[in-house]
């Protein structure tokens, strides 16, 4: 029996710190299915219930473990990279933290496969999850700060803010999204630098210290037509408004004027 598959080509718009199984000791960066699967689970929970994500992608917790109902493989896999990019590009020289990364413009194709125990609704939910990941998701270390920004490598990718909002809404996601001003920068390096320079505010921007707190405010580089832009988004309008208020207090020219951010 030939199992149904759907292919999703994507491209990294910014350098991706995806690492390897060696973790922080790795001298190369490579594209791995387990890392992608983890991000897909996150976006599946955004669209549907956590229990739905466990049913579709599998669950190893407790006595109710179950296998995944969909398979993931990668085509056109890039070779491991020992290229370097800066983890904290807003810091002074010597403190930017160079690290192995997959270079910007690296491409690959995610192949989603429907397994025999996958119900129609499971298959639909999995496909919508992958589509949302390509539009709002990233991969690897500092993903919430626009590192590893993925984007659909297809002609139907959004070409303007209205198209981006429409495609995200059609998938069932109502997160609040703002478009940063174009003068923030027109290269992925400048956009990542702006996204990396956020306030020391664990409530709105997370914390890497103990206890570790993921950032509820997300930054991502998107490609609208031929132009790279930076978006800022959060689960609710109220949370994004709080993040904007916090940003105003930080004296940084790139993003310190959230009044210029445009809701999309």
At residue 236, the pLDDT reads 95
Tens digit of pLDDT for each residue in 108-164? 999 999 999 999 999 999 999 999 999 999 999 999 999 999 999 999 999 999 999
Residue 253 predicted with pLDDT over 90: no
Of the listed ranges 2-11, 80-89, 205-214, the least confidently predicted one is 205-214
Residue 8 pLDDT grade (very low, low, confident, very high; cuts 50, 70, 90)? very high
10 vs 12: CA distance, rounded Å? 7
Residue 256 predicted with pLDDT over 60: no
At residue 74, the pLDDT reads 96
Residue 3 predicted with pLDDT over 90: no
Residue 1 predicted with pLDDT over 70: no
Residue 59 pLDDT grade (very low, low, confident, very high; cuts 50, 70, 90)? confident
At residue 97, the pLDDT reads 83
Residues with Cβ within 8 Å of 228's Cβ and at least 6 positions away in sequence, in order, are 13, 186, 187, 188, 191, 221, 222
Paired tokens of 196: 């990396």
191 vs 198: CA distance, rounded Å? 13
**20-32 core/surface letters (b: 16 or more CB in 10 A; e: else):** beeeeebebbbbb
**128-149 core/surface letters (b: 16 or more CB in 10 A; e: else):** bbbbbbbbbbbbbbbbbbbbbb
Residue written as token pair 């491409």: 107
Mean residue pLDDT across the chain: 90
Q: What is the mean pLDDT of residues 71-82?
A: 91
At residue 26, the pLDDT reads 75
Q: What is the mean pLDDT of residues 32-40?
A: 94
Residue 248 predicted with pLDDT over 70: yes
Whole-number percent of the chain with pLDDT over 70: 92
Tens digit of pLDDT for each residue in 199-229? 888 899 988 776 778 899 999 999 999 999 9
pTM of the model: 0.93
């Amino acid at each position: 029996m030939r199992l149904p598959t759907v292919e999703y080509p994507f491209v990294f718009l910014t350098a991706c710190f995806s690492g390897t199984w060696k973790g922080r000791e790795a001298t190369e960066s490579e594209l791995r299915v387990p890392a992608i699967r983890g991000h897909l689970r996150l976006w599946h929970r955004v669209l549907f219930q956590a229990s739905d994500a466990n049913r579709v992608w599998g669950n190893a917790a407790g006595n109710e473990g179950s296998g995944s109902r969909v398979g993931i493989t990668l085509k056109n896999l890039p070779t491991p990279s020992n290229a370097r990019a800066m983890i904290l590009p807003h810091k002074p020289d010597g403190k930017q933290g160079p690290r192995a990364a997959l270079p910007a413009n690296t491409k690959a194709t995610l192949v989603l496969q429907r397994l025999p125990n996958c119900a129609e609704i499971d298959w639909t939910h999995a496909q919508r999850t992958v589509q949302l990941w390509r539009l709002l998701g990233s991969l690897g270390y500092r993903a919430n700060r626009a590192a590893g920004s993925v984007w659909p490598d297809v002609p139907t990718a959004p070409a303007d803010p209205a198209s981006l909002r429409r495609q995200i809404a059609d998938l069932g996601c109502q997160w609040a999204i703002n478009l940063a001003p174009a003068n923030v920068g027109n290269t992925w390096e400048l956009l990542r630098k702006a996204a990396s320079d956020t306030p020391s505010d664990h409530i709105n921007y997370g914390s890497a210290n103990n206890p570790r707190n993921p950032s509820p405010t997300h930054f991502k580089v998107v490609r609208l037509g031929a132009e790279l832009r930076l978006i800022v988004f959060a689960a609710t309008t109220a949370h994004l408004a709080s993040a904007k208020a916090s940003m105003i207090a930080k004296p940084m020219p790139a993003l310190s004027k959230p009044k210029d951010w445009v809701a999309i």
